[in-house]
Amino acid sequence: MVKSLLFAGLLLGAWVVAPAESVTWYVDASVSQSGDGTSWETAYKTVREGLDAAQEGDTVIVAPGVYMKRSPVSARGQTHVKRALARHGLDSATVALAGKNVVLRSVDPLDPHVVASTILDGEHQHRVFGFFGTENETCVLSGFTIRNGRAPFAAGIYGSSWGGHTRATIENNVISGNVADADMQGGGGIAFCDGVIRNNIIINNLAVGYEHSAGGGLLDCDGVIEGNIIADNAAEYTWWTTTSGADGGGLYSCDGIIQSNLILRNSSSSSGGGLYYSAGTIRNNVIAGNSAFDGPGLTGARGTIVNCIIWGNTSPLEFPQLHISSQPTYSCIQDWTGGGEGNIAEEPRFVDAEKGDFRLLPGSPCIDAGFNDPELPQTDIAGMHRILFGGKSLTVDMGAYEYYINDLTPGPNPDQTTFTWSSLADKTYSIFYSSDLLTWCLALASFPSSGNQTTLWIDDGSLTGIPPSLIRLRFYRSLENP
C-alpha cells in the first residue's frame, strides 16, 4: 500500500509544472554593440532585441537614449517578427510587443527627466509603437516619450485594429508630435487600446485627412482613461465639402471610463473639440479651452456626465459647451441654463488657468459640490485622496483636483503657529518643516488624525528647534503614512 501511494504521488507530481521564473532584459542605446541583454554591462542596443528575447512575464528595462525606428530587427527574430507584424497591419520598422504580456519600461517611469530622455522616435516616417491586440492588463508600456510617428492611423500607439483591441496598460508616458494622415482614419496619439491609459501626457498630436479625420489625441479607446493631460491635439481636414468632417480633437469614440483628466486646448474643424461621440462615463474631468465649429467642449457624449468642470470652450458660432449630449449632473458648466441636478454656472475659480494650474482656489463653488459616486477613483489627478473635507462637507469636488485645506494661523500663544490640514480618520501623518522649500526636516513621524475633516498640530519650537516667532520663514507639510 505504501508503495502504491508513493507511486501515485510521483505520477501526480509529474503533471505539476513549475511556473517559469521571470527574466529582466536590459537595453541601452549607448553600448557599442549588443551583448546578451542580461545585464547593463551586456545590454542590447535596440528595444526590438529586448522584446524579441522577452517571454511571457518578463521585464525589459530601457536606459535613456533615442531609439530610432530604423534599428534593424534582430537576427533571431527577423523572419517571424516581420511576418507577424504584417499580419497585424504593422511594418517591420514598428516597435511591437507582438502579443506577449511583458513589461516594457524606462529605468524610472515616475521621473519626468527620465521619461523625457527615454525616447521612441518615429522619425516622421513610421508608426512608433504597436500591439497585436491579444495582450492583457499585465502587459505594460511605461515611462517613455513616444514621438514623431506618422501613419494612416494610430501614429503614436496602435492597439491592433477596429475589431481586436489590446488591453495592455499604458502609463506614465509622454505621447507627442504624432500625425495620422489618411482620409477616413485618425488616432494621432493612441488608437484601439482598451486597457488602462493612466497618467500620460498626450499632447500636440494630429489627425488630418483630405475631407475626414477623427481623434487627434485618442481614437476608439474603450478602457479606463484616467489621470492624463490630453492637450493641444487636433482633428483637421484639408478640403471642405458639404460632407467634410473632422471630429474629436482630444478624444473620439472612447466608450469606457474617462475620469480625472485635464482635457485642454484641443481643436477640431467640425465637432467636439475636447471630446466627440462617447457612450462611456465622463467623471471628474476639467474640459477647458477647447475649440470646434460646434460643441467645442463635448459633442455626442451619450453616457453619464458627472462632477466635471466644462469651461472656456469656444466655437465661432457660439455653440454651447455641450452639444447633443446627455444631461450632465453635479457639474460646473459655463453659461449653463439646461437644468440638471447639482449643476452650476458660476466661475470655477482655478488657481491659474492661463498657466495650466486647474486646482481650485479657496472659496471655489466647485469645492464639496460634486456627487459621491460609489465608483469614484480613490485619488485625483495629483494622487491626492478622493474625498477630502474642503470646508463644507465630506463631498467630492468637481473637476480633476480635490481641494484640501492646508492652513497656517498664529497662536494660540505668541510663540506658536497652528498647522491645519484635511485629513482622513484612522490615519497617521508625518509632519515636516522647512525654511527654504528645498530642505525638509522631520518634526514628527506619526501624528494621529483627528478624523475625516481636519487635523491640527501646534509648532511651539520644541520639535523644530526654534519657536516660529523667532524665525523669518517656516513652511510645513504633512504626509499620510502608509
Q: Which residues partner with 314 through β-bridges?
A: 291
Question: Exposed, middle or buried by CB within 10 Å (0-12, 13-18, 19+), for 353?
Answer: middle
Other Cβ atoms within 10 Å of 184 Cβ, number: 13
Other Cβ atoms within 10 Å of 108 Cβ, number: 16
Other Cβ atoms within 10 Å of 238 Cβ, number: 14
For the chain, what is the mean pLDDT? Answer: 91
**pLDDT tens-digit series, residues 121-137:** 999 999 999 999 999 99
Helix, strand or coil for residue 136? coil
pLDDT in the model for residue 2? 34
CA distance 292 to 153: 21
Phi first, then psi, for residue 439 (nearest 5°) are -105, 120
Q: CA end-to-end span of the chain, whole Å?
A: 54
**pLDDT tens-digit series, residues 248-280:** 999 999 999 999 999 999 999 999 999 999 999
Please report the DSSP string for 190-234 in residue order.
Answer: EESB-S-EES-EEES-EEEESSEEE-SSEES--SEEES-EEES-E
Q: Is the pLDDT of residue 67 over 90?
A: yes
Q: Is the pLDDT of residue 70 over 60?
A: no
Predicted confidence band of residue 80 (pLDDT cuts 50, 70, 90): very low
The dihedral sign for the CA sequence 446, 450, 451, 453: negative
pLDDT in the model for residue 240? 86
Q: Which three cell numbers stand for residue 372?
A: 459621491
CA distance 203 to 188: 10
pLDDT in the model for residue 318? 83
Other Cβ atoms within 10 Å of 4 Cβ, number: 8
Q: Is the pLDDT of residue 294 over 50?
A: yes
In percent, how much of the chain has pLDDT > 70?
A: 90
Q: How far is CA 163 from CA 33, 191, 193, 194, 302, in A?
A: 40, 12, 11, 11, 22
Strands 441-448 and 428-434, sheet pairing: antiparallel
The dihedral sign for the CA sequence 341, 257, 349, 418: positive
Q: Is the pLDDT of residue 200 over 90?
A: yes
In 416-462, beta strands by DSSP E: 417-422, 428-434, 441-448, 454-459
pLDDT in the model for residue 58? 97
Q: Is the pLDDT of residue 8 over 70?
A: no
The residue among 358 and 319 whose pLDDT is bigger is: 358
Q: Which residues partner with 412 through β-bridges?
A: none
pLDDT in the model for residue 10? 33
CA distance 426 to 285: 29
Predicted confidence band of residue 91 (pLDDT cuts 50, 70, 90): low
Looking at 86-90, 98-102, 212-216, 437-441, which range is the least confident one? Answer: 86-90
pLDDT in the model for residue 262? 98
Spatial CB neighbours of 272, under 8 Å, sequence gap ≥ 6: 247, 248, 249, 250, 252, 292, 295, 296, 298, 299, 300, 323
Q: Is the pLDDT of residue 376 over 80?
A: yes
Strands 322-323 and 298-301, sheet pairing: parallel
pTM score = 0.91
Phi first, then psi, for residue 323 (nearest 5°) are -140, 130
The total number of residues written for the chain in this structure: 482
Mean pLDDT to the nearest integer, 401-406: 96
CA distance 433 to 419: 11
Q: What is the largest CA-CA distance in the chain?
A: 90
In percent, how much of the chain has pLDDT > 90?
A: 84
Mean pLDDT to the nearest integer, 198-217: 96
CA distance 67 to 117: 10
Q: Is the pLDDT of residue 105 over 80?
A: yes
| ∠ CA 458-463-467, rounded to 5° | 65
Q: How far is CA 404 from CA 372, 380, 387, 390, 439, in A?
A: 16, 11, 9, 6, 23
Pick the most confident of 4-8, 91-95, 224-228.
224-228
Continuous H helices in 88-201: 112-117
Predicted confidence band of residue 97 (pLDDT cuts 50, 70, 90): confident
| ∠ CA 203-207-210, rounded to 5° | 155
Q: Which residues partner with 302 through β-bridges?
A: none
**pLDDT tens-digit series, residues 315-343:** 998 889 999 999 999 999 999 999 999 99
Mean pLDDT to the nearest integer, 228-242: 94
Phi first, then psi, for residue 82 (nearest 5°) are -60, -45
**pLDDT tens-digit series, residues 12-48:** 344 444 456 899 999 999 999 999 999 999 999 999 9
Estimate to the nearest angstrom the gap between the alpha carbon of 224 and the chain centroid.
10
**pLDDT tens-digit series, residues 144-185:** 999 999 998 899 999 986 568 999 999 999 999 999 998 878
Q: Is the pLDDT of residue 292 over 50?
A: yes
pLDDT in the model for residue 68? 87
Strands 332-333 and 275-278, sheet pairing: unpaired
DSSP 166: B
Q: How far is CA 182 from CA 213, 246, 254, in A?
A: 8, 12, 20
**Closest CA relative to residue 433, chosen from 462, 411, 402, 401:** 462
Q: How far is CA 112 from CA 156, 178, 201, in A?
A: 19, 20, 11
